[in-house]
Chain A
Amino acid sequence: MNTLVTQFFFPLSPVLSIVGGAVLLTVLEFFPEARLQRVKASVAASATLLSIVFTLLLWATGSFEISSEVVETSGWLLEFKRTYRLDVFTLALYFGVGLFSTLAIFLVHFHFQHRKGPQEIYLLLLFVISGMQFLVSANSLIILFLALELMSLPTYVLVATHRRDPKSCEASLKYFLFGAFASVLFVLGAAFLYASYGTLHLGLLAERIQVYLSYENSPFELLVFTYGGLTLLMIAGGFKIGLAPFHMWVPDTYEGAPSAVTGFMGSAIKLAGFALFVRLLWGIFIPVSSHWVPVLNTLAIISMFVGNLAALAQTNLKRIFAYSSVAHAGYLMLCVTAVAPFGPNFEALYYYLITYGLMFLGVFAVIELLETRYQSSELHELSGMGFTHPILGVCLSILVLSGAGIPPTAGFLAKYFVFLEAVKAGHTFQVVLAVISSLIGAFYYLRVLVYLYMRENKREGIPLLRAPTVFVCIVFCALSMLYLAAVPSSLTFGP
C-alpha cells in the first residue's frame, strides 16, 4: 500500500490532479447553466494550481530512482515506471505547462464571459493540458504518439469554438489537416524505428542506436530506417512547433483562433513540442547528431528569416506575433542543435521557453482585451493606448521589448544564453545570422511601441473593459520579464 502511494500516486500526482479535474468537470457538464461557467473555470484553474503544487513537492523531495522493492515485485508497477519518466526535466516542464495553463484559463474565462461559446471549453483545456503532461513524461514512442494526439485533437476544437465565424473554422481546418498529416508521419517514423530496433522504449532505443550504429559497416537497411525514422519524426515535430518550412498553418490558425486560445497554443503547446524534440533528439539521437544538426540548423535560420521578414509586412497584431513565434521557434531550435562538444544544455532552452511563453501570453492577453472591445486586432487599435491606459501601455512595452530581446528584459538574456550555447557548439556563423535576423525583427516590435506612444488616439472616451483577472495576468507576465532578467538563476535547477 505504502509502495503504491510513494511509487505510483505521488510521482503521478501532477498528472492525476489534471485528469481528476477533467473527470470532475465531465460530471459538472450535466449542469449547463451559464452561471456555472465561473465554477467550472475555478475547478480548471485549481486543478492546474494543484498540479503546480505537487510538482514543487516532488521537486522538494526529489528522488527519481526506481526503488528496489518495485524492481523485486516486477509487476505492472515496474512496467509503469519504465514507461513513465520522472526527472528534473520532466518536473521543470510540468511547472512550465502548469504556469502557462493557469494564465490561459484566466484568459479563456474572460473571453467567454463576453461571447457565446460551448460549455465544455475548460474540460477540453484540461484534456489538452493532461496530453502535454503525458508528453513530457513519456518514455516510449507509443506514449509520445498518444500524448501528442491527446494534446492536438481537443486543440482543433478549441480553435473552432466560434463556429459561425468562417475565420475560426478555416483556422481549425488548416490546423487539423496539417496536424493529422504530421501525426501520420510520426507513426511511420516510430514504426521504422520499431522495425529496426525491436523496441519502443526510448532508453533501450538510445542504447541500441549507440551500439548498432557504431559498427564499422552497419547494415544498409538499418541506416535507411534509422535516418528515415529520424527524418519523419523531425518533420512531425516541426509541424507541431511551427518551424519553417512547416509553418504554413501558423499565421492563419493563430489569427483565426480566439486570442486566449492562441496565447495558450503559442506558449504551452510550443513548450510541449520542444519537449518532444528534446526527448527524441537529445534522448535517443545523440549518437547520430552529426546528421541532424546541420539540417535543423538550416531550418532554424530559415525560420528566423521567414518569421521576421513576414512579420514586417503585417498590420494585424495577431499575425505579427504569429510570425514572430515562427522566428522564435528558429532561435529555440538553435539551442536544440547545440549538442556538441559539451552536451546539450537544457537550462538555456528552458529559460528561453519560459520567457518566450510568458511574453506571448502577456501580449495575447492585451490583444484579447483589444479584440473584446473593438472587435478587431489591427495594429492601429493600439494608437495612443500608452497614454489612455498607462499601466497597460508600460506592461505591453516591457513584453514587446522582451520579445525583441532588448537588454533590461528577460528576452535579451534568453537570446544571450541560446547564442552562447550555439557559439560553444561551434555554430558561430549561424549565430551571426541569428543576430542579423533579430535586428530585422526589432523593427516590427518597435513599431508596436510607436503606435502605443506616438500616434493620435482616435478612440477618446472608449476605454477598454475592466477585467481584473486579465489585468493581473498582463502585469504578472510583464513583471516576470523584469524579475527573470534580474534573477536568471531562479529558473535553474540541479542535475
Chain B
Amino acid sequence: MREVFFMIFSIFTVLAALGVVVSRHAIFSAFSLVLAFFGLAILYLLWGTSFVSMLQILIYTGAIVVLFVFVVMLLDLKKEETLDSAKTGPLVMAGLSVWFFSLLILRALNRATYFKSTNVEAASDIKSISTLLFSKYLWGFEILSVFLLALIVSACVLARAEYMERKADQ
C-alpha cells in the first residue's frame, strides 16, 4: 500500500516540478512549486519522518514560496514579460537528459534490495534530530551559523549598496 502511495506521490511531485519549469507565467510556476513542495512533504511522511515533513511545509511552502509570490505580485508582470514561446532546442536537450537520467535511476532502483542493508540512522522526531545535530553533525551546525551570518551580510551589501552611494553623494 505504501509503495503505491509512494509511486503516486513521487509522480505527482515530478509533474509539479516540471510545471515549475514549463509554465509560461511566473505565478503558475510559483503555484506549481507549492504543489511540488507538498508532494515532497507527503513523500517524507511516507518515509516516516513526520518532523521533516512538517518543516518542509512550514518553511518551504509557508515562507519561501509565499515570498516568491509576493515578489512576483510586486513586480507586476505585464503580458510581454511572460515567456511567449518556449524554444524547442533547450526543451529537446532537457528531455534527453531527463530520459537518460531516469533510465539510470530506474535501472538502479530495479534491484533496490541493496538499500535496505545500508544502515542510515533514522531521525524522525525532534529529539533524535537535535541529538544528532549537537553531537554527530555539530561541526556542520557551527559552520552553518557562520554561513548564515555571511548570507545576511551579503544580502545587505547587495540591497544597500545603492542607498549608501546615494548617501555619499549628498
Residue positions of A touching B, CB distance < 8 A: 19, 22, 26, 32, 34, 75-76, 79-80, 83-84, 116, 118-120, 123-124, 127, 130-131, 134, 140, 142-143, 146-147, 149-150, 153-154, 156-157, 160-161, 163-164, 194-198, 219-222, 224-225, 228
- Which residue in chain B gives the minimum CB-CB distance to A221? B108
Across the interface, do B138 and A80 meet the contact criterion of CB distance under 8 Å? yes
Tell me if B119 is interfacial: C-beta within 8 Å of chain A: yes
CA distance A224 to B100 in the complex (A): 13
CB distance from B110 to the nearest CB of A (A): 8
B115 proximity list for chain A (CB < 8 A) = 195-196
CB distance from A32 to the nearest CB of B (A): 7
Which residues, 139 to 170 on B, are CB-close (under 8 Å) to A? 139-140, 143-144, 146-147, 149-151, 153-154, 156-158, 160-162, 164-165, 168
A-B contact count (CB 8 A): 107
Kindly identify which residue among B104, B112, B139 contacts A143, using a CB–CB cutoff of 8 Å.
Answer: B139
CA distance A220 to B118 in the complex (A): 16
B165 proximity list for chain A (CB < 8 A) = 116, 164
Contact with A along B38-56 (1 / 0, CB 8 A): 0000000000000000000
CB distance from B35 to the nearest CB of A (A): 20
CA distance A140 to B137 in the complex (A): 10
Kindly identify which residue among B107, B140, B151 contacts A220, using a CB–CB cutoff of 8 Å.
Answer: B107
Residue positions of B touching A, CB distance < 8 A: 104, 107-112, 114-115, 118-120, 134-140, 143-144, 146-147, 149-151, 153-154, 156-158, 160-162, 164-165, 168
Chosen A-B contacts, 18 in total, with CB atoms closer than 8 Å, are: A19-B146, A79-B138, A79-B139, A80-B138, A83-B140, A118-B157, A120-B156, A142-B140, A143-B140, A146-B147, A150-B146, A156-B154, A164-B165, A195-B118, A196-B114, A220-B107, A221-B109, A221-B110
Across the interface, do B118 and A142 meet the contact criterion of CB distance under 8 Å? no
A120 proximity list for chain B (CB < 8 A) = 153, 156-157
CB distance from B102 to the nearest CB of A (A): 12
Across the interface, do B114 and A134 meet the contact criterion of CB distance under 8 Å? no
A19 proximity list for chain B (CB < 8 A) = 146
* 14 further A-B pairs in the complex, CB-CB below 8 A; given A142-B137, A163-B161, A221-B114: A19-B146, A75-B135, A79-B138, A116-B165, A118-B157, A119-B164, A124-B150, A131-B147, A140-B139, A149-B147, A157-B154, A195-B115, A195-B118, A198-B120
CA distance A134 to B109 in the complex (A): 35
Known contacts: A124-B157, A153-B151, A219-B114. The answer to whether A228 contacts B104 by CB under 8 A is yes
CB distance from B169 to the nearest CB of A (A): 9
8 nearest A-B pairs in the assembled complex, by CB-CB distance: A198-B118, A221-B108, A127-B150, A83-B139, A157-B154, A224-B108, A118-B157, A150-B147
B146 proximity list for chain A (CB < 8 A) = 19, 22, 127, 130, 150
A116 proximity list for chain B (CB < 8 A) = 165, 168
CB distance from B133 to the nearest CB of A (A): 11
